[in-house]
Structure 1
Amino acid sequence: MNTLRKIFLALVFGAVALGARAQELDCRVVINADNVEATDKRVFQEMERAFAEFLNNRPWTDMTYQRHERIKCNLILNVEDMPSIGNFSGTATVQAARPVFDASYETMSFYVFADKEWVFEYTESQPLEYAENTYVNNLTSLLSYYAYLIIGTHQDTFSPLGGTKYLDRARDILNATQGQQRPGWESFSGPNSRYWLVEDLLNTRMENFRKGMYDYHRKGLDIYAEKPEEAMKNVMGFLRNLKELNSLRPNSLLLRSFFQAKADELANMFSKGNMTLRKEAYEILTQVNPTESDKYEKILGK
């Protein structure tokens, strides 16, 4: 068994038992504060370091990851306002990737998500405190919420509904914030809020979306190099489910985020092979994701 296959199988089964817990995330944190008037910009450099250490040096699960198995992810925070010293607000973009078997590229496992309601306090050199199932402060609630979403959605791509317990932890964090009057955590925060993101992921009506993440990645992308037609058929089944889900929850955040990350990938996958499958894929994709219709023209060779 070659090294790549060993690494990949370790990821499929979630972790390697080595008798000690290790960190799950390999997160790159970027803080952009160009629009903030501050006499000392070092606070933002320190913020980058502190956020990265919090995400990358903390064990979030009882699994053990070797360094090459850690989930690559990005947290890009555009700080837009500093109303007073130690108080910040901005927009965060969060994304994560997983390897594709027998391919030289990675694919998104947590979709590009722009959270416009990051409001938090931060003091240089002060430790970031976090306690399971307890609200300590908004900053560590935000960071830990996304850590669990990244891990949960990542695990879903390797086993059907495999990330449920980590998504449950993200919802526990959300529940602990209720009553704190912080934006983004409440049901009335709007359809693009953190509240609705995790609620949609755990809603039984949307369960076929999460099951489809396994079909799309493990039974689609991971076998595409060796069995392209079988992979296309498996992904086609998922697209049919997406059509039904779109009728249940039109323009849902989950579907919009998925297509934002996957439109190019889908267009490439269905750009060759069985024309009957390609035509059906084109019809579904242009119906449920009309904003990316230009990209899907590639499927029919236009």
Structure 2
Amino acid sequence: MTTFDTETRPAALGLRGWNPPLTWAGLAFLAMMIPTAWLALHDPRTFNGVNVWDKPLKFELSIAIFLLMAGWVFTRLPSGWARTGWGRYTVWTPIVASLGEMAYIAWRASRAEASHFNQSTLTAIVLYAVMGVGALALSSTALVQGIAVLRTPNTAGDNPVFRAALGWGLVLTFVLGASLGGYMSAQTSHWVGGIQSDAAGLPLFGWSTTGGDLRPPHFLGIHASQIIPVAALVIIRLFGKAAGLLTGLFVAGYIALAIAVFVQALMGLPLIAL
């Protein structure tokens, strides 16, 4: 992972240096939200108490954020890294995996059926397992990018504290996202007690407000790559020389929070009771 061209700054890979395939794929997922939102408004069918197109809409947004973030990370790396095997892996693996996952989720939604935790038939079990492998491969690309950010020369001239936060945020997206998501996918549902429906869930997110829900800790895991670097930027701006220590404390606190929310869910307690 250390063989690359060490120019003083990343060469242009597309608009403002973002990786073109990842950027266009991310924008495509954002565009997908338009017809999906139209379907949600005109299709009255429900599943688990919410519109059948609610889950595809959320996944399109989440995947778009992941892909756009991955495309932007290339601007923080030497241009030669994009041409390595690992660089190509972090481009095409998330694109292929996300397209497959989204196609399956949308297909199940069109039939008003579960895409996750569906063990109704052998086909459903196999397809759910394949989707799980795809999700693991998708999140593994964040780990590869995170290690690259931490180990390759800082050709982008980033603040060292921000760069460390970016690298560790990407690593934690895999470590927390994959581990917490893996546990959740091995269960029969994401609920732990409470009302087994999203109808009275937390606004916007749909998380249970009456019992435990394994989705909040997974959310913290998969979005660590965005939350931690943004927090580091704020800390750097506000605290200057103390930013390194405070950012390290924030990262430790973030890990502790994800674990605490996970334990809270296992205890059958909602993240927020309404």
TM-score by length of 2: 0.35
Q: Return the structure number with greater helix share.
A: 2
Kindly indicate whether structure 1 or structure 2 has the higher relative contact order, using CA contacts under 8 Å at least 6 residues apart: 2
TM-score by length of 1: 0.32
Q: Return the structure number with greater strand share.
A: 1
